[in-house]
Structure 1
Amino acid sequence: MSPPPPIPLKIGYVPEHFSTPLHFAATHFSLSCTLIPYPSGTGHMIASLQNREIDVGIGLTEGWIAGSGSVGKGKEAGYKLVGTYVETPLCWGVSTGGRREDIVVGGVQGLRGGKKMGVSRVGSGSYVMGFVLADREGWLDPGGKGPPPFEVVPLQTFEKLREAVNNGGADFFMWEHFTSKRYYDSGAIRRVGEIYTPWPSWHIVARPEIVRDERLDVMIEKLNLGVRYFKEHQDEAVRYISTELDYSADDAREWLKTVEFARDVKGVSTSVVEETVKVLKKAGVLGEVDVEGMIGIRRLE
């Protein structure tokens, strides 16, 4: 009697343009995993990993590292960094409501003090990057004793963030540029500024007990094939992004010029984690952390 087939890994992902190689891995290379979309982003995936609802997550670097570090040194975050998905930085657009002339006129500097920043979840990329922006603009007290640069309003989804900046629930929020662009073009929201991540933008994590699992090796192999297919079939990528996701074909083509996926997604650079931790500490998002303890699979450097 043959043994039963292995239980498919459950992979959490954000259903945006960055998920296209994952889609190709499933469509063209028989990636035998259960794909679970998380439109609210990395923060939600962290909770699901900790609750053992998913096995693997593909999400934003700053969200994973902030979430891992926030549990405190010597404690388990519920996941380890195991792969590098996107090598290039992410452009975060800073957005406000379509009729918020007061915010637009003041620009990014006008967001300081007394403003409400909408985020998907505390600890998410949209949360973390708000403090990286505040650090860039010099709004943070070096000793950490000053007032917060803005009030944080958790709103779960991109849709609720757009609604909030138009109904007064929030004054601004931060989200990936190309995901926001359709709504800039329609006038639903307005762009105030931007900030790029000072690190490769997307990484892969897995629950600790999955790190040495053969199923993870197979998943990585299939995802590498999906990335290669994505690079070699750009027209198909544009068709998928513009028909199945919330982007125009022109925006999809422009995005393709800006993004570089990892040739081999297996492993994480220790130096990248260290540099990201350094920036997040400076921004007041992290305290003392165990960098080595965050990493499940290292890249050779």
Structure 2
Amino acid sequence: MKNIKIAGVPEHFNLPWHLCIENGEFDVEGINLEWTDVPEGTGKLCQMLRSGETDIAVILTEGIVKDIIAGNPSKIVQVYVESPLVWGIHVAANSNFQKLSDLENKKAAISRIGSGSQLMAYVNAGNEGWNTQDLQFEIVNTIDGAVEALTNETADYFMWERFMTKPLVDKGIFRRIADCPTPWPCFVIAVTDEMLQKHPGTIRRILEIINNTTIEFKEIPSIDRTLASKYNQKIEDIREWLSLTKWSQKPLSEQMLNKVQNQLLALSVIDKKGIFAEIVKDI
């Protein structure tokens, strides 16, 4: 058996991986795929790829593009979720903030530096015409940390995937005042250069297995109920999320990579663009 480590956020997008692992689909191929949940998100996942703590990461597109340009020895091998990620912009339920413009020059809670929650704060600021140089951040690590920061007023707003934070809105802890969809496919699969060099055939087979599952994922009987139960969601919210979400089985195109890099460059999130072959590998 080949031991391969994979990591991703504990969110509904990644249920296909868990189903494949539970069904023994990788085991049959002689692959022991060890999954690690990373609630801290993209910044932590980038760090894990750099340190060799994981061989593969299911990770936000903008976060890994930024980190590969900054020297992360990994490549994007495929788009995993083609549809945008809908980021909810949340404030404490009892705060005085009522509309998006109230948050200009306020402090954003982020999971960590380089996380999607930080990068999307830049995207949102760019959309609203705010000065991105004025953005302020409070590192909170996890959603629980964000609840604490917004409740204690050490941060003013928090951007996170809209459906995963919906239970906190329903409980009256957060109030969502706007949405900010990503202007690109939300999740990609990144693999360390070392793993690509040593075991390209194994990575190719892992992709084939997960792609066969994501193609048919929405057709799995009662998948809406399974997702609602596993991720503590209302069935109607899961059905809406499923209708908006489209998995992919294709590589990241040069055109889409340029779109991501051009926007990150315009927002001063990166100070240079990387070459396609240094960021993406089609295996």
TM-score with structure 1 length normalisation?
0.87
1:99-118 matched pairs, under 5 angstroms: 99-100=94-95, 102-104=96-98, 107-113=99-105, 115-118=106-109
Moved more, 252-261 or 213-222: 213-222
CA contact (8 A) 2:92 2:150 kept: yes
Match of 2:59 in 1: 59
CA contact (8 A) 1:242 1:249 kept: yes
Match of 2:276 in 1: 292
Measure the CA separation in 2 of the matches of 1:58 and 1:217: 15
CA contact (8 A) 2:49 2:72 kept: no
Match of 1:133 in 2: 124
| Partner secondary structure for residue 179 of structure 1 | coil
Measure the CA separation in 1 of the matches of 2:183 and 2:100: 18
Count of equivalent residues: 276
1:44-69 CA-partner distances (Å, limit 9, x unpaired): 01001111000000011111112222
Match of 1:252 in 2: 238
Change (3 A) 1:170 1:234: farther
Which amino acid in the other structure matches residue 140 of structure 1?
Answer: N
CA contact (8 A) 1:270 1:298 kept: no
1:166-185 matched pairs, under 5 angstroms: 166-185=151-170
| Partner secondary structure for residue 103 of structure 1 | coil
CA contact (8 A) 1:23 1:226 kept: no
CA contact (8 A) 1:21 1:226 kept: yes
Which amino acid in the other structure matches residue 18 of structure 2?
Answer: H
Measure the CA separation in 1 of the matches of 2:273 and 2:266: 13
Match of 1:272 in 2: 256
| Partner secondary structure for residue 134 of structure 2 | coil
CA contact (8 A) 1:93 1:191 kept: yes
Match of 2:213 in 1: 226
Deviation at 1:234, TM superposition (A): 5.3
Measure the CA separation in 2 of the matches of 1:194 and 1:291: 32
Q: Displaced runs of 4+ in structure 1, greater than 4 A?
A: none
Change (3 A) 1:125 1:234: farther
Of the three residues 67, 77, 92, the one matched with 2:87 is: 92
Deviation at 1:269, TM superposition (A): 1.3
Match of 1:215 in 2: 202
Measure the CA separation in 1 of the matches of 2:258 and 2:131: 21
Match of 1:283 in 2: 267
Measure the CA separation in 1 of the matches of 2:261 and 2:252: 14
1:67-112 CA-partner distances (Å, limit 9, x unpaired): 222x2xxxx3121111110111111000010110x212xx111111
Alignment gaps of 5+ in structure 2: 27-31
| Partner secondary structure for residue 159 of structure 1 | helix
1:196-215 matched pairs, under 5 angstroms: 196-212=181-197, 213=199, 214-215=201-202
Change (3 A) 1:201 1:162: same
Match of 1:145 in 2: none
| Partner secondary structure for residue 91 of structure 2 | strand
